[in-house]
Structure 1
C-alpha cells in the first residue's frame, strides 16, 4: 500500500512546475504574529528544510497554512488531510539545522521530524528529480546515524525514481564532478547535502523519530556554478537577490546559470512536495523501530 501510494503521488508530479509569487510570501512573513509556545498548534510531523525555495512546493499542499513565530523562528502550520503538519526553514548547514530541530522538539514535541530538501547525486544511477530515502547518514569524519527504513530493496527498486542509500553531510557546497565522484567512492554514500546528520543526531538525543527525504537537484556528472556558494550563504531573500544581482553585474554570462538554477529549483520543489504528500501520512509504516 505504501509504495503504491508513493508511486501514484510521485509520478503525478513529474514535469509540473508552480510559478511562485515572492511578494505574497514576503507579505505573509510580515503579517506573522509572535505566538507563545503554549499557543502553537501541535503538529504531528515537522518537516525541516534549509531554504524557502526547497519548502515552497510542500507549503502549497497544506490546507489553511498559517505562519507563526516560535521564539523568533517562523513555523508554517497547516493540515494535510487529518494530520497537522509543521514546516520549518532552518537555514543552511549543520549548526542552523541542529539548533532549529532542538527548538522544535523542545517546544512542539512532534512525533516525527522529516529532514527534506535538495541533494547532489554522488553515483551515476541517480538522475535529477530522483528521490532518495536515506537509510543512514554520515560525515567525512565518520560520525554516523542509521535510519531504519521499513522498505525492502525490492520495493524501492520497483518504484520508478526512488532510491535508498546513505547520505553524506558536509559543510560546504560540493561543486565539481571530480570531488563528487571521490566522495561517493570514499565514503560509500549516494548523495550529499548539508543538514541531515545534525538533524538525525538531535533526534537520536531527544528520542524523536525521523526520516530523511531528499530530491536530487544535480547529478554526479553535473558541476555547479562557482557563484552558487555565495548565493547560498545569504541569510535572507533580499540578501540572495542582492548577491545574484552582483553576480550578474560582475559576470553577465551567469544570467543563464541563474535562470537554470531557478527553473531546476522550482521543479525539484514541486516533485519533492508530491512525494512528501504521499509519505508523510504513512510515516509509521515507513520507518521501523531501531533494533
Structure 2
C-alpha cells in the first residue's frame, strides 16, 4: 500500500479538530501517517485500512476552525468532513467519554445549521444524538452548562463545529459533528484551563507553571482533566473508526 502524497492527495474523509490529543488515538489506528504543515495549520494524513483520511489541527476558536476547514478542503477535497474532538456536557447524567452526534449545530446568536443525520440513539450506552451548541469561549461552570442546555435544548457545547459546518455547506461537502464528552455537569472546570491553553491549541508552559504556583491544588484538578480528556479521546477513536468505514462504504 502506498503512503499518501502529503499535501496533494485526495482524501476520502476529512477530520477537523482543535487539539492534537483529540485525534491522536484515532490516528494511532491508521497506517502510513504523515505530518506536515500548511500555512499556520498542522495536517496529518494516513490510511484506515484502504480509506484515506486527512486531519487538520485548527487550534481553538471559530475563526481558526473556519480557515482550517477551508484549507483542508482546498488541499484534499474530501467528500465528507467531520468536526471531531472534545465537548462539554449540557445535560445532567451524561458521562465522561459519552459520544454526541449532532443533528444540528447552533450558536448563541440564533444561527443554526441542521444536519440530516439518522443515528440510533443509545444514551444508556453513552451515545447521544441531538443539537450541539457553539460558544465563543469555554463554558467552565456546571451551572452555566445546565442553563445553556435548557435554553438551547442542546446536549453538548464546543467552540468549532458551527464554523466547520458553515464551510462544508458553502463547499457542498457532507458534514458531521461527532464529539466526546470530556467534562460533565458534575463540577466546574478549573479556572486555569482558560489561561494555559493558547489559541493554537498548545499548552502554555509558563502559564501552567504560574497557575500551579498560585494555586497548588490546581495541579490535581488539571491532572484529572487530562485523564478525562484521554478517556474521551480513546472513546472517540473507537466510534470514529466505525463511522469512517460506514461513510466510505456508502460511497463505494
Number of residue pairs the alignment of both structures matches: 246
**Number of the residue aligned with 2:131:** 166
* 1:196-215 aligned within 5 A: 196-215=161-180
2:35 maps to 1:71: no
Among 150, 171, 188, the alignment partner of 2:153 is 188
State the SS of the aligned residue for 1:156. Answer: coil
**Number of the residue aligned with 1:126:** 94
Q: Give the CA deviation at 1:248.
A: 0.8
Q: Give the CA deviation at 1:95.
A: 0.5
Q: Structure 1: 5+ residue runs without aligned partners?
A: 1-36, 287-291
Give CA deviations for 1:205-255 in whole Å, capped at 9, x if unaligned: 111111111001111222100111112235364x52222112112211111
Q: Structure 2: 5+ residue runs without aligned partners?
A: none
Q: Is the 8 A contact 2:12 2:79 kept in 1?
A: yes
Q: Is the 8 A contact 1:134 1:164 kept in 2?
A: yes
Among 229, 232, 243, the alignment partner of 1:265 is 229
**Number of the residue aligned with 1:110:** 78
Q: 1:171 and 1:158 mapped to 2: Cα distance?
A: 27
Q: 1:85 and 1:135 mapped to 2: Cα distance?
A: 23
Q: Give the CA deviation at 1:158.
A: 7.6
Among 77, 81, 88, the alignment partner of 2:49 is 81
2:245 maps to 1:281: yes
Q: 1:67 and 1:281 mapped to 2: Cα distance?
A: 22
**Number of the residue aligned with 2:19:** 51
Q: Give the CA deviation at 1:62.
A: 1.1
Q: Give the CA deviation at 1:68.
A: 2.3
**Number of the residue aligned with 2:205:** 241
Q: Is the 8 A contact 1:150 1:285 kept in 2?
A: no
Q: 2:205 and 2:27 mapped to 1: Cα distance?
A: 21
2:60 maps to 1:92: yes
Moved over 4 A (4+): none
Q: 1:42 to 1:101 in 2, by over 3 A?
A: same
Among 141, 145, 166, the alignment partner of 1:176 is 141
State the superposition RMSD in angstroms.
1.9
Q: 1:203 to 1:98 in 2, by over 3 A?
A: same
